[in-house]
Structure 1
Amino acid sequence: MSEPRQTPEAEGQVSDAVKGNWVDRYAPPAARPYLRLSRADRPIGTWLLLLPCWWGLLLAIVADGQASWHDLWIFAGCGFGAFLMRGAGCTWNDITDRHIDGSVARTASRPIPSGQVTDKGAVAWMCAQALIAFGILLTFNWAAIALGILSLLPVAVYPFAKRFTWWPQIFLGLAFNWGALLAWTAHSGALQWPAVLLYVAGISWTLFYDTIYAHQDKEDDALIGVKSTARLFDRDTPKWLRRFLVGTVVLIGLAVIAAVPRGDILALVIALGGPWAMGWHMAWQMRMFDMENMDRLLMLFRSNRNAGLLPVLFFAVAMLV
């Protein structure tokens, strides 16, 4: 008689992780619960944290035309830092939500509520990731270091936002798009208005994609009293998504106009292609949006990696002309 086949949850896998991800397939068994705690098996969050960093860096180079070898390190350092700080932030989120996640079907299989990682182990893991990320931050200039330290405030507040506001996605946006400010400053040495416009654009984008994401949990959230824009907007969600789409595209466009030197028409036209292409991708997401189709919602949320990469591509080309 053959043994019963284990479910993903019985094997320790998280229910909404990418199937066949590298953590479940290749990571040492002892490390898997901690990597799952960091969402290493769900890389979309790292991308969403990283992409505003690359927007800020590349548009800053377009603005002053002064690319250097150190910018390659900023580009790579943002990647390493995004992976680590996303992991630390997710660990912090799961520590604060440890009494909630077990009551939500999608999150009950996470390492803390499922018993794979203890509370003390999670705290130690969070601190280890944050300290390594701080080491990377120290390779940037002092203004960027100060901004990096300041970013801990929205990161610390976000997990509690859904307890006191219907707009927790704003707090997620404040945390997830900080890299636009930091990377711009790491290149230029000072925080300037185009970076601020990129930052606000990123917050609008976060409201767009995380509202889509939050529709997966709205029934469980209603039962346990957790607030979200998905619950707030309900059937009016498409109307709000349209507003966030327009806000994102307009604000990135204004950032480009403010950043590109006057008279550099070719660079301006190419850079403006970034928000234009991103807007079309977001419009496609709206056409595909179905708030009752959980698989579709997750697919659309993950597709925002490609949406955010489009400005990166256009800014990189504008930097080279």
Structure 2
Amino acid sequence: MNVPLWVWAATIAAMVLILALDLVIVDHPWSKTKGPKEFGIKQAAWWAVFYIGIAVLFGFGVMHFGGLTSGAEYFAGFVTEKSLSIDNLFVFYLLMTAFAVPKKYQHEVLLVGVVIAIVMRGIFIVLGAQVINAWSEVFYLFGVFLIYTGYKIVRDHVKGDEEDKDFTQTPVVRMVKRFWPVTDDYHGAHLTVKLDGRRHVTPMLLVIVAIGVIDLVFAVDSIPAIFGLTQDAYIVFTANAFALMGLRQLYFLLAGLMDRLAYISWGLSAIMVFIGVKMILHALHENGVHVVDIGIGASLTVILGIMTVTIIGSLLKSRSAGPGRPGSGGERDERDATADRS
């Protein structure tokens, strides 16, 4: 799809404007409650619907101006990146818990995380497009990497590595602690404070640093995945950006449901393996080998099918487990309901 420079500029400007309006409305100065506020489930639900609606409307716009194939590529990329973002949210949830981030500051931390993620992905998209143009055989490398990533997702899920990981002791966080003293408590949303005449960093800064590192790791995983569906840089960028823009609302919406998505890792693993195989088959096909070249329509159908089965299966398992039992999320829902009433 041949996209003029002014369309790129208008798209990015519109995204910045939407994020700015989001921040202003969430922290609206006319509220009776001064300062940061906790993000409610109902508020998160409306914002999540808003962002998904914008992404879908944009997809129909791509389909109208760029053709059916471009539209299908966008929707396949958006669904894939949105699916991967659910797994990212689980890691964010563990990180917020590890750093004991107060609820009223979590949406600010997540907004910074979303901005960092969009910038990271923008850089990786430019680099990825250059590599693909210069060396088409990179599809073999990307394909193998995605298949390994799919295996790693399931392996870590089965072993429980993510749950056991201490996000407060990552190498970058340890480096920050080595050069600057860290306060024991949060000081509002401040990243640094001056105590006893000396500048200290707060846990808020450490959380943002940790999220930045995690965003870098996620970008390494997600960009090869979407390049396996389309090589159009505009579609790759917009699908990523729209999948990320509603991420913080989705976090608060799914925070009470994390333990109900029992099969999400298996679904994501299947998607990564599928796209990895698709990339390898596409590379072989381009090199004259007579193999099946999976089209974008089939890819979109498979990705949507995997996520549908994954979510329905997870919800059925949660329902059969019953409230309060492992995997049901009942105890957390009860606590959230009590907190909302208070």
- Interval of TM-score (by shorter of Structure 1 and Structure 2): 0.3 to 0.5
Structure possessing the higher relative contact order (Cα contacts under 8 Å, 6 or more residues apart): 2
The two structures have a TM-score, normalised by structure 1, of: 0.34
